[in-house]
Amino acid sequence: MRTPENNDLIAFANETVSADSISSHAHWRILIVDDEPEVHEATRFALKDQLILGRSLDITSVYTAEEARVCLKQSDQFACILLDVVMETPDAGLLLVGFIRDTLKEDTSRIILRTGQPGYAPEVDVIEKYDINDYKSKDELTRNHLITTITSSIRSFQQIKTIKANKTGLAMIIDGAPNLFRERAVGSFAQGVLLQLCSLLQIENNSFLCCHEDSNTQAIKVLAAFGSYSLLHGETINTDEHTALNKDIMHVLNTKQHLFSEHHVMLYMQSPHSDTLVVRVETKRLLTEIDLHLLELFSVSVSVGFDNARLFEKMEELAYIDTLTKLPNRTGLIYQLEKQIETQSGFTLLLADIDTFQTVNDGLGYQIGDLTLITMAQHLKALFGPTCLLGRVSADTFCIDIPCTDKKFIAEKLEELEASLEHSFSIQGYEIPLSLTIGIATFPQHGKNADTLLQNASIALKYAKKKHRAGYSEFGKEFEQELQQRLHMAAELRHCVERNELHLMYQAQICLKTKRILGAEALVRWTHKGQIIPPNDFISTAESSGYIVPMGYWILEEACRQQVEWKTELSYEITIAVNVSIRQLKDPQFLKRTDQILEKTGINPSSLEIEVTESMMMEDNNTLHSVLNDIRKRGIQVALDDFGTGYSSLSYLQQLPIDHLKIDQSFISKITKSSQDSAITALMISIGELLNLKVIAEGVETYEQQEELIKLGCSEAQGYFYSKPISKTEFIKLLTTMNQ
């Protein structure tokens, strides 16, 4: 048995720990609170030159509980407090413990109670009631016991500090992650990373983050920089100008390891999609083990967050930029026009359609067709210059926004354009003659918002294609007759339901794995005075006139009735999909009428799918979201139609009350033409998987497109490759054939 004098206990007190695991302080702070001066002297003598856990002791003495209160308020944290129980009052020490723990909220410092009157306060009661490390009589604390007790207390202090530091660091990472993950742009994300990292390490914001973007050129681009590195923001780090930095970065990239030094740290991170990041921060101190653990966790969060930011940027580009010509697409153009309307008094829109594009596409193939579009985009950009906004609004239609309304100037530019097209374009050995037919609309005369301007320019373009092919027409009085016709159509649409002029056609939706029919999309047709009118000719008029609402209820009821009829006849269910307009969803009676239709037809709500377009959902309308949420509560599914043609971001998609994504056919038509187009479709399919949404590809027309979609992981498809829209009788035959 060891005796109190056994000095091998000193080894326990003097054991060393890693320098990384302790703070930068060189000593442990000890507070002695006792009203007997000889106790102070004896304690200091016993602890003289003593090292505990690799550090010396810095001892402070006070002689009353009141002095201790003042000292504790004004001083830095003590690792250990040696506290007498009986001082100016019999319970002064016990009251001081309460002051430390409850008033000062100091729960890290360790307290050792000492008493010269054993039995005054029962040891068990004190230990249970107070947050203390030990309670001893003064004659028990020989030198060895004193050192051992203080060592144990300091070890507890150190562990509590470590736990708290870890907890604080983890809280900072957890609290900061949502802010970082909300960032949609890589640049702002990178800035957020640096700000949070420097806050985490409690250092000055003197840092930069760079990305190794091109393995061939070894280009290393700085995405964000602060402090002494601010001038590097947006620059490329190269060997000639930044020799030392480049050397350190290349070392980190080659070793794929973090680099730590006394004055700075460089972190290596690789995102799930293989972007390589390097972060450098000036620390000016050695990092602790806690710091290193937190940095590892922080790096994981950054890597995933960077991927999200990249995805956001790709989504934004997909939403606003035409991937073929790199010009703004229709959505991007409208966005730019709306900003222009806020700042400019007038401008002119030219909507230019390539006259012979379909012939080029059909005769020479899609690849030459794509090159023709790219060539025309470059030609228009060079001709009109940087002051004009240029966009591609549809397959072979470009929009030129000229910041001028002077008719003479516009006429001169049109003559210049016509002259520039007199010679053929040489594309991969083919001499291709091209001409443009143009519709013109002017702000504000022909519309006070972007949609109206484009609509009126389109009307002028249609008129020009009929009357002035390879020429131009300006929106004006000559279109009044066409507008009168639209008004007449609106008047006739008013009675289409009561006259039983509507009927539905059905297009199959296919499981790509089994090639069986899973559902059908109901598509309306209008037979007026013996003539079948396609939806493109009357839906927009129905929308603008408001007659889409009663028409929509008829479509919904007829589709549900037909689904139940098929179920009864075939003894199994398929889903019926119905397009719903924004006017319908905003009808106060929509939910009530929907419930009535469900009850009247007896359809299983889970077999009904409501389709809404992406452009509809981009309206920041809480009411619209609320209605769709109520629809889903009824068990009805909601599909987002024309996905990819709007401008939704990933974060916004997460908020939408939807179950199904329908990739627009404009993307499907390109997936077999280039790896880039295939990658875009793959990205949209991945987004669906990420959000746990079913994905269906629209407009599948060829076997090759089907096989590419299967390879990309798409689960469902519809299009002419399987079936055009057909009557209910033809559809049941198709259903019987494909689902045998």
Q: Are 94 and 126 within 8 A, CB to CB?
A: yes
DSSP 475-490: SSGGGHHHHHHHHHHH
Q: Report the pLDDT value the prediction gives residue 363, as an integer from 0 to 100.
A: 73
Nearest of 551, 333, 558 to residue 451 by alpha carbon: 333
Query: Amino acid identity, residue 651?
Result: S
Q: Report the pLDDT value the prediction gives residue 316, as an integer from 0 to 100.
A: 67
Query: Amino acid identity, residue 81?
Result: I
- How far apart CA 195 and CA 179 sit, in angstroms, is 11
> In the structure encoding, which two tokens stand for residue 387, read together?
């002051």
Q: Report the pLDDT value the prediction gives residue 417, as an integer from 0 to 100.
A: 93
> In the structure encoding, which two tokens stand for residue 656, read together?
């939408």
Lowest mean pLDDT among 335-349, 357-371, 640-654: 640-654
**Helix/strand/coil percent split, the chain, to 5:** 50, 20, 30
Q: Are 643 and 673 within 8 A, CB to CB?
A: no
Nearest of 156, 155, 72 to residue 106 by alpha carbon: 72
Query: Amino acid identity, residue 357?
Result: F
Report helix, strand or coil for 105: coil
Q: Report the pLDDT value the prediction gives residue 191, as an integer from 0 to 100.
A: 67
Give the Cβ contact number of residue 197 at 10 Å. 25
Confidence band, pLDDT 50/70/90 cuts, at residue 483: low
Report helix, strand or coil for 399: strand
Confidence band, pLDDT 50/70/90 cuts, at residue 14: very low
Confidence band, pLDDT 50/70/90 cuts, at residue 113: confident
Average pLDDT estimate for 325-346: 89
Q: b or e along 704-727 (b: 16 or more beta carbons within 10 Å of the residue's beta carbon)?
A: ebbebbeebebbbbbbebbbebbe
**If you average pLDDT over each of 195-199, 210-214, 290-294, 736-740, which comes out highest?**
736-740
Nearest of 339, 487, 468, 350 to residue 407 by alpha carbon: 350
Report helix, strand or coil for 739: coil
Q: Quick check: 74 pLDDT over 50? A: yes
From the number of C-beta atoms within 10 Å of its C-beta (0-12, 13-18, 19+), residue 19 rates as: exposed
Do the bridges between strand 276-282 and strand 207-214 make them parallel or antiparallel, or are there none, so unpaired? antiparallel
Q: Report the pLDDT value the prediction gives residue 468, as an integer from 0 to 100.
A: 77
- How far apart CA 352 and CA 283 sit, in angstroms, is 58
Nearest of 326, 442, 317, 462 to residue 390 by alpha carbon: 326
Q: Report the pLDDT value the prediction gives residue 162, as an integer from 0 to 100.
A: 64
Lowest mean pLDDT among 194-203, 324-333, 489-498, 718-727: 194-203
What is the greatest pairwise CA distance in the chain?
A: 117
Do the bridges between strand 575-579 and strand 608-613 make them parallel or antiparallel, or are there none, so unpaired? parallel
Question: Per DSSP, which regions of 382-500 are E strands?
Answer: 389-394, 397-402, 425-427, 430-432, 436-443, 472-474
Task: Please give the helix or strand (H or E) that residue 661 lies within, else none.
Answer: strand 660-663
Q: Report the pLDDT value the prediction gives residue 21, as an integer from 0 to 100.
A: 36
Between 452 and 16, name the one with better pLDDT.
452
Q: Report the pLDDT value the prediction gives residue 398, as an integer from 0 to 100.
A: 95
- 14 secondary structure, DSSP code: H
Query: Torsion angle, CA of 52/53/54/55, rounded to 10 degrees?
Result: -50
Q: Quick check: 219 pLDDT over 90? A: no
> In the structure encoding, which two tokens stand for residue 629, read together?
């949420």
Distance of CA 661 to the CA centre of its chain: 17
Nearest of 583, 587, 586 to residue 542 by alpha carbon: 583
**pLDDT tens string 514-557:** 999 999 999 999 888 878 887 877 887 788 778 888 889 999 99
Q: b or e along 360-398 (b: 16 or more beta carbons within 10 Å of the residue's beta carbon)?
A: bbeebeeebbbbbbebbbebbbeebeeebbbbbbeebbb
Question: Per DSSP, which regions of 34-105 are E strands?
Answer: 56-62, 80-84
DSSP 543-560: HHHTTHHHHHHHHHHHHH
Q: b or e along 152-180 (b: 16 or more beta carbons within 10 Å of the residue's beta carbon)?
A: bbbbebbeebbeebeeebeebbeebbeeb
**pLDDT tens string 556-597:** 999 999 999 999 988 889 999 999 988 898 889 999 999 999
- 656 secondary structure, DSSP code: S
DSSP 329-386: -HHHHHHHHHHHHHH-S-EEEEEEEETTHHHHHHHH-HHHHHHHHHHHHHHHHHHH-T
Q: Are 694 and 688 within 8 A, CB to CB?
A: yes
Task: Please give the helix or strand (H or E) that residue 706 lies within, else none.
Answer: helix 703-712
- How far apart CA 92 and CA 525 sit, in angstroms, is 93
| Residue entry with tokens 């054993």 | 118
- How far apart CA 29 and CA 113 sit, in angstroms, is 17
> In the structure encoding, which two tokens stand for residue 371, read together?
């090159």
Helices 143-182 and 289-320: crossing angle in degrees, nearest 10, is 0
**pLDDT tens string 20-63:** 333 444 689 999 999 999 999 988 998 988 898 888 999 999 99
Exposure of 245 in the CB half-sphere (CA atoms within 13 A): 21
Q: ∠ CA 364-367-372 to the nearest 5 degrees? A: 80
Phi, psi for residue 328 in degrees, rounded to 5: -55, 140
**pLDDT tens string 620-657:** 566 788 899 999 999 999 998 888 765 455 666 777 88
Report helix, strand or coil for 404: coil
> In the structure encoding, which two tokens stand for residue 548, read together?
């889409």
Q: Report the pLDDT value the prediction gives residue 254, as an integer from 0 to 100.
A: 87
Q: Are 400 and 333 within 8 A, CB to CB?
A: no
Instruction: Show the domains of the chain with their CATH numbers.
Output: 9-165 (3.40.50.2300), 183-319 (3.30.450.40), 330-475 (3.30.70.270), 497-738 (3.20.20.450)
Whether pTM > 0.85 for this model: the answer is no
Q: ∠ CA 467-470-473 to the nearest 5 degrees? A: 50
**CA torsion through residues 54, 55, 56, 61, sign:** negative
- How far apart CA 510 and CA 109 sit, in angstroms, is 69
Nearest of 579, 522, 517 to residue 727 by alpha carbon: 522
- How far apart CA 142 and CA 158 sit, in angstroms, is 24
Q: Are 81 and 110 within 8 A, CB to CB?
A: yes
Beta partners for residue 613, in sequence order: 641
**CA torsion through residues 185, 190, 195, 199, sign:** positive
Q: Are 124 and 97 within 8 A, CB to CB?
A: no
Q: Report the pLDDT value the prediction gives residue 124, as an integer from 0 to 100.
A: 59
Q: Report the pLDDT value the prediction gives residue 488, as an integer from 0 to 100.
A: 74
Do the bridges between strand 80-84 and strand 110-115 make them parallel or antiparallel, or are there none, so unpaired? parallel
What whole-number percentage of the chain has pLDDT above 90?
32
- How far apart CA 377 and CA 382 sit, in angstroms, is 9
